[in-house]
Copies of this chain bind each other. A is one copy, B any other.
Amino acid sequence: MSESGSCDAVVLLSGGLDSSTALAWAVRKMGWRCATLAFDYGQRHRIELDASARVAAAFGIVQHCVLRVDLAAIGGSALTSEQAVPKDHQDKSSIPATYVPARNLIFLSMAAAFAEAQRATRLVIGANIVDYSGYPDCRPEFFASFAKTIKLGTKAGVEGLDLCIETPLIHLKKSEIIALGLELGLDYALTHSCYDPSADGRACGHCDSCLYRKQGFAELGREDPLPYTI
């Protein structure tokens, strides 16, 4: 752990396409010294924690921290229980089965605590409302309200050190996100997106996350470097 005030920004890094692009943006476009946070939250597969570490290493992040938080004990989601992950439909009208109750709220709260301990002033999250309009905790009004809450509820906030929530991808289409990452030299072979990978780590190609990813690369006319089971 580095000294207090040693990073400008804390980046939530799941190792997925969006969070990895958000890190590329923070490091290479904004020039911020970043610490990265991944969460070991009882997800059904651990492949994303490996992807997160790979991406952090590729960007030379010296402070990559994995925090344990027991969301599986809370339940209520296909991502942390035995519920089936839905396949082959992109349901934008309702909240998906892969919604984890209050997940971004919990992750942001822990990231805010980490940022406070580090005296960082920015918190970067690769949230996006274009593809994932069904997730309430990806909406700009949620992030704005959260920022007010931490201003009121943290020592740093009360002392005048504002923590700005940065959501660089919030209004981008998946193809625009990929274009941004490629422009910034992000190797998408390092990332991982699938909700339901095979035992050998290949993406299923059928869950929402795979469908959006494949569609994004297709729209851009670029090849997705990830191996798929199909």
Contacts and interface: CB of A to CB of B under 8 A. Distances in A.
Interface of A: 1, 65, 67-71, 73-76, 95, 99-106, 109-110, 112-114, 116-117, 136-137, 139, 141-142, 145-146, 148-150, 152-158
B1 A75 contact: yes
A97 to B, nearest CB: 11
Number of copies: 2
A136 B114 CA distance: 17
Given A74-B67, A109-B106, A99 B155 contact: yes
Given A74-B117, A113-B76, A149 B145 contact: yes
A5 to B, nearest CB: 12
Nearest to A139: B152
A102 to B, nearest CB: 4
Contacts of A110: 69, 74, 102, 106
A35 to B, nearest CB: 11
